[in-house]
Amino acid sequence: MMNPGPVEEAGKVATGFFDAMKTQPLALALAVMNIGLMLIFWIVIERLNTTAINREKIAHEEQMQIRELLSKCVVPSAPK
């Protein structure tokens, strides 16, 4: 007899999971809620990352403008 392949094993695991969810609806509700929370956290982190990237771009542009203005300043020569 041959060992079952990974597809058969995954099928058994999935079948067992869904059978357990049928008999225990609270576990199903908790699993759905956990997936929902992970989705919400992913969205929040993605938006925070986008905001941080934009903030860094703005700060870099501002620093470039300041450097350009400072490069136009005339430095008086030192007294001899």
**In this predicted model, what pLDDT tens digit does every residue of 27-38 receive, in sequence order?**
888 889 999 999
Distances (CA, A) of 55 to 51, 58, 59, 62: 6, 5, 6, 11
SS3 of 69, please? helix
The count of residues in the chain is 80
The encoded tokens of residue 69 equal 């203005």
**In this predicted model, what pLDDT tens digit does every residue of 51-79 receive, in sequence order?**
999 999 999 999 999 999 988 887 777 66
- Residues 66-78: b if buried by 16+ CB within 10 A, e if exposed: eeeeeeeeeeeee
Q: Spell out the domain ranges in the chain.
A: 25-69
**3 or 26, greater pLDDT:** 26
User: Does residue 80 surpass a pLDDT of 90?
Assistant: no
Number of DSSP helices (H) and strands (E) in the chain, helices first: 2, 0
d(CA 31, CA 9): 21
